[in-house]
Amino acid sequence: MVTLSPHHPQALLLSLPLGFAAKCLPSDSTCFPSQDEFNALSKSLPTADVIYPGLSRYKAWSDAISLHNQRLDSDHIPHCAVRAQSEEDVILVVKFCSENNLLLSIKSTGHCYSGNCVQQDSFLLDMSLMNDLSLNADGESITLQPGSNFDALYALNEESGTQSVGGMCGTVGPVGFSLGGGHGPLIRSYGLGTDQILSVDLVTAAGKLISVSKSSDPDLFWALQGGGGGSFGVVTSITLRTHPAPSSLTSYVCNYPLSLSIDYEVGDSGVATVGSWWSDVMPNLPNEWTFFSVLLPAPIPLEQNIPEYDKNTMQGLLSLEGLFNGDYSSAVESLGLQGLLDLDVDRQMSCKFENHTSLKTWHDSRWFGKTPVPTRNYMSTSFAQKNFDGKNLAKVAVNAILNTDNTMSSFFGIQTGGAVNSASDTDTAISSAFRNSDMLMEIDANWILKSNDDAQTAWTHGVGLDVAALDDIAGAYVNEPDPNLDDWEDMFWGANFQRLQEIKSAVDPTAFFECWQCVHA
Ligand SMILES: Cc1cc2nc3c(=O)[nH]c(=O)nc-3n(C[C@H](O)[C@H](O)[C@H](O)COP(=O)(O)OP(=O)(O)OC[C@H]3O[C@@H](n4cnc5c(N)ncnc54)[C@H](O)[C@@H]3O)c2cc1C
């Protein structure tokens, strides 16, 4: 069983770690504002009001506090919420919370894995209703409000003949994604989501709306490129670089069985296939390709149609899902040259190339492009460094998947490298572990019943530790964190954490913005 880390949000309220300020919570009547004061704030907001738990505004309240991860439902209940619809709403809420020393939560689309976007007993600023996005007059950038999402962005890209670096899940928002890193199907062509940021409009701890770019404030801009959400201000919009779209994109999918065998390292267990893919083929692919190595205990019902899959002899699946940012003939040629088309030919199942007119059509056709069904979830991530030993990693990954009884668990390897490696370790706040990686690994458990929380949490946390213990595996992804990770500052940011702390002290000297696993002074 995973014990509550002393830094977990619930523990945070009881004992504050170094760098966190004591906030005034609703239980403390000596400092907490009166209801009259909350009512006065509500009246002053131009386009919103303050709402509370209860039946009178049930739908608004439940939408405001809803989180993608159902595991967090019971202990992430704020005291009150404002569903902001204008920058002025945001400014007034920040000033009220700052003057009264209240714990503020900032939520955009609510995909935060650890629940730090809706903190217990906080004042919640829900940004999801601010969801406009538009192509700028230069035709080379798009400005988005935090409640928008990748479904909307990819639709705008399709209309405008542009491409943007976004995520795999259409419901996820661009702000938290870009501030923390941002991986997706085009990162090897163009770099991480964070590398696309041109400017950020945000409300500071002093309640001032500022526009931050590399030229206007290089330090704060550096911190916003990888420092994660929640620490430096409330983002009201973000402007991201776009790229001209090619006339077509090509995808390749190929599946291989994973099977239990007496000596699972040899024979047809799948370890040899996975290891060879990771060590011998994947690192040599051109930057136009981004591949996802998905290990699953079984094909996903109604999603993955693999007639060759025989559940009597096969106990798992390696699904290779690749997108080539270019035309069909170059895609086929490059996979042939690098040997993927010949990898374990006898064990290949339902392999096929497809042509797509846009990123949107590819995205909408894939199982991970569908709206995810909210479940209880726990995630652990780490980065495989250049020249990692794919065969050793394959033993741990295949073993974990073959030995879970949860068919909604997965090991999801996102190929990095390519343009992700183009920036230096200190150009942005992204850690060197992420910058120099060849693959981001997500160990992901999803389940329905609360009674399975301990077992599923322990499985994910345990596999995460096994992977992290291997040579040439380092760091963790701030946007997809294990909430019980020790040493998370070092895991998320490595040597860049110190500069992040200095910038945090300078721009938020009273530590007004505070959340679990966020940059602190
Ligand atoms: C189903 C699913 C799929 C995902 N797919 C991907 C993927 O393909 N690639 C990837 O890189 N990541 C992915 N993620 C992780 C995703 O990047 C993070 O959850 C990200 O933080 C979401 O951003 P958001 O704007 O919705 O912020 P939220 O999830 O609402 O909040 C995340 C953090 O940012 C802070 N924050 C939110 N809004 C603001 C704001 N306006 N100003 C300042 N701080 C703010 C919050 O306080 C919190 O700390 C996925 C997550 C889920 C649950």
With b for 16 or more beta-carbon neighbours within 10 A and e for fewer, the 374-403 pattern comes to eebbbbbbbbbbeebbbbbbbbbbbbbbbe
Distance 121 CA to ligand 1 centre (A): 21
Ligand 1 site, CB within 6 A: 68, 106-112, 116-117, 127, 146, 167-169, 172-173, 175-177, 180-184, 229-230, 234-235, 372, 479-480, 515, 518
Q: What single-letter DSSP state applies at residue 114?
A: S
Instruction: Determine how β-strand 104-107 pairs with β-strand 209-213.
Output: unpaired
What is the token pair recorded at 374?
Answer: 């909210």
Give dist(CA 172, CA 15) in Å, integer: 32
Residue 347: how many CB atoms within 10 A of its CB? 17
Among 176, 229, 234, smallest CA distance to 205 is for: 234
Q: Are 256 and 344 in contact (CB under 8 A)?
A: yes
Closest-CA residue, ligand 1 atom 43, reads 234
Mutate-to-test residue for ligand 1 from 72, 76, 83, 108, highest number of ligand atoms within 8 A of CB: 108
Distance 175 CA to ligand 1 centre (A): 7
DSSP string, 423-482: S-TTTSSS-HHHHTEEEEEEEEEEES-GGGHHHHHHHHHHHHHHHHTSTTEE---TTS--
The pTM of this model reads: 0.95
- Residue 198, helix vs strand vs coil: strand
Distance 273 CA to ligand 1 centre (A): 33
Closest-CA residue, ligand 1 atom 27, reads 176
Distance 520 CA to ligand 1 centre (A): 18
Partners of 318 in the beta sheet?
256, 295
Distance 24 CA to ligand 1 centre (A): 26
Closest-CA residue, ligand 1 atom 13, reads 167
Closest-CA residue, ligand 1 atom 25, reads 176
* Helix-helix angle 87-99:35-44, to 10 degrees: 160
Mutate-to-test residue for ligand 1 from 479, 492, 507, 514, highest number of ligand atoms within 8 A of CB: 479
- What is the side-by-side order of every strand in the sheet holding 249-258? 349-356, 249-258, 316-324, 289-296, 409-415, 437-447, 376-385, 473-474
Give dist(CA 434, CA 483) in Å, integer: 18
**Beta-carbon contacts of residue 376 (< 8 Å; ≥ 6 apart):** 69, 70, 71, 446, 447, 448, 449, 450, 452, 453, 456
Amino acid at 111: H
Give dist(CA 301, CA 456) in Å, integer: 21
Instruction: From residue 521, give the alpha-carbon distance in Å to each of 44, 156, 494.
Output: 32, 39, 15
Residue 286: how many CB atoms within 10 A of its CB? 18
Closest-CA residue, ligand 1 atom 4, reads 169
DSSP string, 207-272: S-EEEEETTT-HHHHHHHTTS-SSSS-EEEEEEEE-EEPPS-EEEEEEEEEE---SSTTSTTSSHH
Amino acid at 432: S
Cα(first)–Cα(last) distance of the chain, in Å?
Answer: 31
Instruction: Determine how β-strand 123-126 pairs with β-strand 80-83.
Output: parallel
Which atom in ligand 1 lies closest to the alpha carbon of residue 111? 29
pLDDT mean by block of 10 residues, the chain; 521 residues: 41 45 92 98 98 92 95 92 98 98 98 95 98 98 98 97 96 97 98 98 98 98 98 98 97 93 61 94 97 97 92 93 97 92 94 96 90 89 96 95 94 98 97 98 97 97 97 98 94 98 97 96 91
CA torsion through residues 227, 233, 238, 239, sign: negative
Exposed (0-12), middle (13-18) or buried (19+): which is 418, by Cβ within 10 Å?
buried
Closest-CA residue, ligand 1 atom 41, reads 235
Among 376, 447, 368, 374, smallest CA distance to 407 is for: 447
- Residue 144, helix vs strand vs coil: strand
Q: Are 219 and 503 in contact (CB under 8 A)?
A: yes
Closest-CA residue, ligand 1 atom 17, reads 177
Which atom in ligand 1 lies closest to the alpha carbon of residue 167? 8
Between the CA atoms of 222, 226, 232 and 233, what dihedral angle is there, to the nearest 10 degrees? 110
Amino acid at 64: A
